[in-house]
Amino acid sequence: MSTLTELSLADARDGLRAKKFSARELAEAHIAAVTRIKPLNAFITETPDAALEGAAEADRRLAKGEARAMEGLPIAIKDLFCTEGVLTTAGSHILDGFKPPYESTVTANLWKAGAVMLGKTNMDEFAMGSSNMTSYHGPVESPWRRRGDNRPLVPGGSSGGSAAAVAARAALGATGTDTGGSIRQPAAFSGIVGMKPTYGRCSRWGIVAFASSLDQAGPMTRTVRDAAIMLGAMAGHDPKDSTSVDRPVPDYEKALTGNVRGLKIGIPKEYRVDGMNPEIDRLWEQGIAWLKAAGVETVAISLPHTKYALPAYYIVAPAEASSNLARYDGVRYGLRVPGGTLDEMYEKTRAAGFGKEVRRRVMIGTYVLSAGYYDAYYNKARQIRTLIARDFAEAYRKCDVILTPTSPNTAFAVGEKMDDPIAMYLNDVFTVPGNLAGLPGISVPAGLGGDGLPLGLQVLGRAFDEETVLRVAEVLERAADFKHKP
Amino acid sequence: MALDRDTVRNIATLARIRVEDNELDALAGELSNILTFVEQLNEVDTKGVEPMTSVVAMQLPRRPDEVTDGNIQNKILANAPEGTRGFFAVPKVVE
Amino acid sequence: MSSTHLIKGKTGEWEVVIGLEVHAQVTSKAKLFSGAATAFGAEPNTQVSLIDAAMPGMLPVINGWCVEQAVKTGLGLNAQVNLHSVFDRKNYFYADLPAGYQISQYLQPIVGKGELLLDLADGKSRTVGITRLHLEMDAGKSLHDQHPSQTYIDLNRSGVALMEIVSEPDMRTAEEAGAYVRKLRSILRYLGTCDGNMEEGSLRCDCNVSVRRPGQPYGTRTETKNVNSVRFVMAAIEHEARRQIEVLESGGTIRQETRLFDPNSGTTRAMRGKEHAHDYRYFPDPDLLPLELSEDEVARIKATLPELPDDKKKRFIEQHKLSAFDAGILVSERASADFFEAVVTGDGKLGDGKTGRDAKLAANWVINDLFGRLNAAGKDITASPVTAGQLGRLIGLIQDGTISGRIAKDVFEIMFETGKDPLKIVEEKGLRQVSDTGALEAAIDEILGANVEKVAEYRAGKDKLLGFFVGQVMKKTGGKANPGVLNELLKKKLAP
Ligand SMILES: [Mg+2]
Ligand SMILES: [Zn+2]
């Protein structure tokens, strides 16, 4: 039944309702696919039993005509989401053996909508990375290869396992989280759709925190429609999250009217960065042309503080992370390395439990918050955030959405760029501003680079205007007609 | 900002991450590079700019004073590396 | 500052400078950021939510009631309520601090400057500045004595709402510090925002102490943590001040450090394991938004404030003509003040229908007789076997001459033992005093007849003997003679 894994999430949903196949058949096909892609190391934990159980319940409901929004649809969950009774590691050694006695709000919402869990996907440790090479459970391999080159490539990160699983047709969709681009960049690298909704749209309750003021969960799928369906199930107000916004969740699928006539698309001049791959620039021009053909108006806009987004991010995110990760101390859960004193136990546990990149960021974060440096670093970065948010507010007086490339390059090989953290950080140059300003953004696969690898275009929108973002993204998707498979 | 070994050692202590002496120099170099990178921000005049406290425009929600949680000792202790008689246990602390 | 505040050392006089940080537990059913209960004395780790245990991905949501209590307390301290305040993370590692940070308020607390009036033993009062009040969560509890090589952790207290109330370094003696804690506790209890129970840890005090030569700048201070009774606060300060003077006089210097008070020895000692300097890396908690209050909300809370001890004391002095000392004692606890007022105004009945009980008399009875008796019985005013109405009626009986003050003491004792009404006791025991002149004259005549020599002495000018005759007649009448009538009659009969 390998054709079942080729279906989009929307088509699988419709097929189930039309009784073309059962949820059990759909689940089995995906369980087999998960097994088939084992060499990619996309999953940390596989949960075939949960998938079959969920499918059985789905078939019962389908038979009674009581199907819910995602009834019987097999999906994968990034290992950053706490799942009750199922190992949750955040890609880290320090959460060894941790089985949460609770379920994150977003995954609970998905199960309430009838979705079925295939397993927990691999990721950069604590979501810190753009390559998936920082996972304690080993790197994830992209299902893609460069043209004429069989070296393994990275799927992007940090939601790399989710991206690889969806791209390799082992899941109809997957959850991701995006702190600086961790949904959109791996989506672009892997030729799939990835959406980061507005900050506050999806509850953060039960998601292992990386940088609380930036983290946001979102869907990773193969089509824009699938992203709309899945986001609808994930989103919603959660009284358990003080930053969750209390406003109704629209029917995102309904927003996909195909009609973008009269919309104004902003093109920020500052996104033409030095040393950008010319084919990325060409793709961007192509995207503009596609949207113009669909009836949009383009507007030149300026986001003058774009260049400072990345340095501000590399203060804010590590600072918050240094505090968020203080709870991993060997006392209540996870790894403990014994020590003669409490402090020795802490120091040994945290040295052994955190990988190199996490240690580095925790230390940077500790430093920028420490006495005498707070104003120069952390407060300065918060001021830059204000300026970046103002840039966007100014831009959205002239346009409805903004079109940019998702990433300045295509996927790189496993092992590349590892020795220079800054070169790695530059992967997020186009995605980070959206996190700092809390705005929704989506990456849509738009073409292949000269190396035969996928490239993505990003649509950014106004806060809580996911509908327009999705509508524009779908028009872009139709025009690009991206049919390439890994 | 170039960090010296002592500063790195102090940060490591604050962060409770053991760093061996032979790792200090390499780590000092890496951290210094990152700091140099983020120090680009000094180019921006931020005088009078309010630092962002929250990216969402909303009021802090408040909950009513009701007991809605607790009595889950087994869940609280379920993942504990060491615990006994309802407590978590750690190496003895002398105050 | 009068020189009585100075401590005499070997090399001269020293002034002690004291500031207090009081952690007062907000009276609430649930914790500040979670829905777990706050009740005292539960089994370990049972009143703990996933949030209080800092499980991965857990988020705080603030208890609105606790916010209101902090505002109420700020208003009760005549303090500035800040309409915009911010919750910060205070980062440090400790086994009973599960998240590795405490959610507190640092640069922008909910309450700013206020003041507190101290009532001192000499009847004088003095003002101590309040620097701020902020809301924060409590940590859990470390038990060091349960196992030879391990410390046990109980998170039941983790996340309980505290108000940290910080004073200016305005106090100069241990007595003042004691008076400060007593007064603060009294105000908190009037407001109902903290039960003030120091044994259960609802009120804990950090004492910042330094010494200096008079007129010199502040010296280096030490902080003695978590002292949990007024007596210990005073003892800790006393000991710490003397220790610092000794160190300085022998040429040493004071280290800024955290110390612990040992109630058994009455001394303080430096805390171990605190050798590396703290760097709390405060920053606004990104899981919480700034806390906004509206003027309306503050006004609404203000309207619920009860009459507080200072105002009540003033009123007692003016309205009831009490001394400052008596008024001070009565208002220190709201229950005592209420009891006193109920005795005075009570059910409106005097023993014989007259109105207007003597407030001074009532104050004496409440403070000396009732408090003394309750103390001896180990009882609280709220558990008094004598009701305010009953004590009021007893005073009525004295005022209208039904019984004498002396007999009233006996009646009171029976009331305390049996809970019976005073009039009933007077009737049952036949204690009504004799005001009938005929009956009294007979008794007087009998006494005068039996003491002819003394009568002569009196008439010769030995006035003091009047007391003797009064006593004799009283004895004869079983103490029931109306003293006023008796005096008058005696004087008439003894007149030469
Ligand atoms: Mg303190
Ligand atoms: Zn405190």
Helix (H) or strand (E) run with residue C114 in it = strand C114-119
Per 3-state DSSP, what percentage of chain A is helix, strand, and coil (rounded to 5)? Answer: 45, 15, 45
* End-to-end CA, chain B: 37
- DSSP, collapsed to helix, strand or coil, labels residue A427 as helix
Cis peptide before C435 (omega within 30 of 0): no
CB < 8 Å to C54, chain A: 327, 332
Task: Give the position of tokens 């005498």.
Answer: A372
CA C258 and chain centroid, separation:
27
Distance C206 CA to ligand 1 centre (A): 6
Distance from CA of B46 to the nearest CA of C (A): 19
Out of A52-66, A334-348, C253-267, pick the least confident.
Answer: C253-267
Chain A CB contacts of B81 under 8 Å are: 330-331, 333-336
Q: Which domain holds residue A335?
A: 1-486
Return d(Cα A219, Cα A176) in angstroms, integer: 6
Pairing relation of β-strands A43-46 and A116-121? Answer: antiparallel
Indicate which residues of A carry an active-site annotation.
78, 158, 182
Residues C355 and C317 in one domain: yes
Residue A65 CB partners (closer than 8 Å, separation 6+)? none
Q: Which residues of C touch A331 (CB under 8 A)?
A: 95, 98, 153
CB contact under 8 A, C154 and B87: yes
Kindly state whether residues C154 and C200 are assigned to the same domain. Answer: yes
Selection from C58, C50, C36 nearest residue A206 by Cα = C58
Same domain, residue pair C450 and C362:
no
Instruction: Specify whether C268 is located in the same domain as C188.
Output: yes
Would the pTM of this model clear 0.95, i.e. be above it? no
3-state class of B21 per DSSP?
helix
- For chain B, what are the domain ranges? 5-43
Please tell me if residue A419 touches chain C, with a CB cutoff of 8 Å.
Answer: no
pLDDT score of A172: 98
Contact across the interface for B54 and C290, Cβ inside 8 Å: yes
- Nearest residue to C134 via CA among C91, C102, C104, C89: C104
Which residues does residue C283 pair with via DSSP β-bridges, in sequence order? C89
Say whether residue C215 is in contact with chain A using an 8 A CB cutoff. no
Chains touching A (at least 3 CB pairs under 8 A) are B, C
Residue pair C206/C228 in contact (Cβ under 8 Å)? The answer is no
In chain B, whose CA is at the least distance from the CA of A87? B79
Neighbours of A44 (CB within 10 A): 23
C-alpha to C-alpha distance for A425 and A230, rounded to whole angstroms:
29
CA–CA distance from C28 to each of C97, C102, C162, C228 (Å)? 21, 19, 10, 20
Interval A168-196 mean pLDDT:
98
Shared domain for C259 and C175, answered yes or no, is yes
**Chain A, nearest residue to C284 by Cα:** A320
Is residue B71 over pLDDT 70? yes
Burial of C349 (0-12, 13-18, 19+ CB in 10 A): middle
Whole-number Å distance, alpha carbon C197 to ligand 1 midpoint, is: 19
If residue C134 lies in a helix (H) or strand (E), which one and from where to where? Answer: strand C125-137
Distance, in Å, from the CA atom of A55 to the CA atom of A50, rounded to the nearest integer, reads 8
Distance in angstroms (rounded) separating the CA atoms of residues C233 and A105: 47
Give the total number of structural domains in chain A.
1
Interval between CA A365 and ligand 1 midpoint (Å)? 25
Nearest chain A residue to C282 by CA: give it.
A369
Burial class (CB in 10 A: 0-12, 13-18, 19+), C257: middle
Q: Are residues C264 and C115 in the same domain?
A: yes
Place of tokens 């207007």: C356
Which fold, B5-43?
Answer: Histone, subunit A (1.10.20)
DSSP string, A77-116: EETTB-BTTB---TT-GGGTT---SS--HHHHHHHHTT-E
Q: Note the ligand closest to the C-alpha atom of C139.
A: 2
User: Any bridge partners for residue B84, and if so which?
Assistant: B87
Task: For chain A, positions 65-84, list CB contacts with chain C under 8 A.
Answer: 81-82
CB atoms within 10 A of CB C250: 9
The answer to whether A257 faces chain C, any CB pair under 8 Å, is no
The residue of B59, B63, B84 whose CB has the most chain C CBs within 10 angstroms, and thus the best one to mutate to test that interface, is B63
Candidate from A3-7, A47-51, C397-401 with smallest mean pLDDT: C397-401
Task: Report pLDDT for A36.
Answer: 97
Contacts of B57 in chain A (CB under 8 A): 463
Tell me if chain B has a CB within 8 Å of the CB of A363. Answer: yes
The amino acid that residue A149 corresponds to is D
Q: Which two tokens stand for residue C340?
A: 């006193």
For A69-94, what is each residue's pLDDT tens digit? Answer: 999 999 999 999 999 999 999 999 99
Taking CA atoms, what residue in C is nearest to A103? C57
Which residue stretches of A255-355 are H helix? 278-293, 309-324, 342-353
Q: Are residues C279 and C347 in the same domain?
A: no
pLDDT of residue C30: 98
Q: What is the pLDDT of residues C185-215, one digit of tens each?
A: 999 999 999 999 998 999 999 999 999 999 9
Q: Which residue of A has its CA nearest to C291?
A: A242
Kindly tell me if the per-residue pLDDT of A333 is higher than 90: yes
Look at residue C282 and give its three-state secondary structure: coil
Mean pLDDT, rounded, of chain A: 96
Å from CA of C90 to ligand 2 middle: 10
Of A82, A242, A342, the CB nearest to C57: A82
Residues of C in contact with B18 (CB under 8 A): none
- CB C59 to CB A205 under 8 A? yes
Measured between beta carbons, the chain B residues lying within 8 angstroms of A101 are 72, 75, 78-79
Radius of gyration of chain C (CA): 30
**Shortest Cα distance from C258 to chain A (angstroms)?**
18
At A336, which CATH number? 3.90.1300.10
From the list A101, A363, A382, which residue is nearest B17 (CB)?
A363
The whole domain housing C7 covers: 3-302
How high is the pLDDT of residue C406? 86
User: Chain B interface, mutation test: which of A82, A96, A349, A367, most B Cβ atoms within 10 Å?
Assistant: A367
Residue C105's closest CA among C156, C51, C154, C62? Answer: C62
Amino acid at C489: L
Cβ atoms of residues A188 and A445 within 8 Å: yes
What is the mean predicted confidence (pLDDT) over A237-265?
97
- d(CA C435, CA C438) in angstroms, rounded, equals 9
Query: What's the gap in Å between C224 CA and the centre of ligand 1?
Result: 10
Give percent above pLDDT 90 in chain A: 93
- Whether residue C288 and residue B89 make contact (CB cut-off 8 A), yes or no, is no
Summarised one tens digit per residue, pLDDT across range A120-157 is 999 999 999 999 999 999 999 999 999 999 999 999 99
- State whether residue A331 sits within 8 Å of chain B by CB: yes
Q: How far is B48 from chain A (nearest CA, A)?
A: 9
Label each residue of A335-349 as H, E or C.
CCCCCCCHHHHHHHH
B partners (3+ CB pairs within 8 A) are A, C
Tell me the backbone φ, ψ of residue C320, rounded to 5 degrees. -105, 0
Interface of B with A in 31-90 (CB under 8 A): 31, 33-35, 37-44, 46, 49-58, 60-61, 63, 72, 75-76, 78-82, 88, 90
**Cβ atoms < 10 Å from Cβ of A47:** 23
Q: What is the ipTM of this complex?
A: 0.97
- Cβ neighbors of A171 (< 8 A, separation 6 or more) are A30, A33, A34, A74, A75, A76, A118, A162, A165
The closest alpha carbon to C347, from C391, C291, C303, belongs to C391
Q: Is B9 on the interface with A (CB under 8 A)?
A: no
A contacts of C287 (beta carbons < 8 Å)? 209, 212, 242-243
> For residue A402, what is the enclosing H or E element?
strand A401-405
Positive or negative: CA dihedral A179, A180, A181, A186:
negative
Determine the distance in angstroms separating the CA of A61 from the nearest CA of chain C, rounded to an integer. 32
Work out the pLDDT band at A2, boundaries 50, 70, 90.
low
Nearest bound ligand to the CA of residue C21: 1
**Cα dihedral A393/A397/A398/A400 (nearest 10):** 80
Tokens representing A174? 């997957």
Neighbours of C298 (CB within 10 A): 18
Closest ligand to residue C207's CA: 1
> C280 at the B interface (CB within 8 A)?
no
Residues near ion ligand 2 (Cβ under 5 Å): C 164
Q: How far is CA C118 from the centre of its chain?
A: 12
Please judge whether A242 and C287 are an interchain contact, meaning their C-beta atoms are less than 8 angstroms apart: yes
Determine how β-strand A264-268 pairs with β-strand A401-405.
Answer: parallel
The count of structural domains within chain C is 3
* CA gap C205, C167 in Å, rounded: 11
Q: At what angle do helices C174-191 and C309-319 cross, to 10 degrees?
A: 90
Q: Which residue positions in chain C have pLDDT lower than 70? A: 1-4, 272-277, 346-356
The pairing of strands A74-78 and A116-121 is parallel
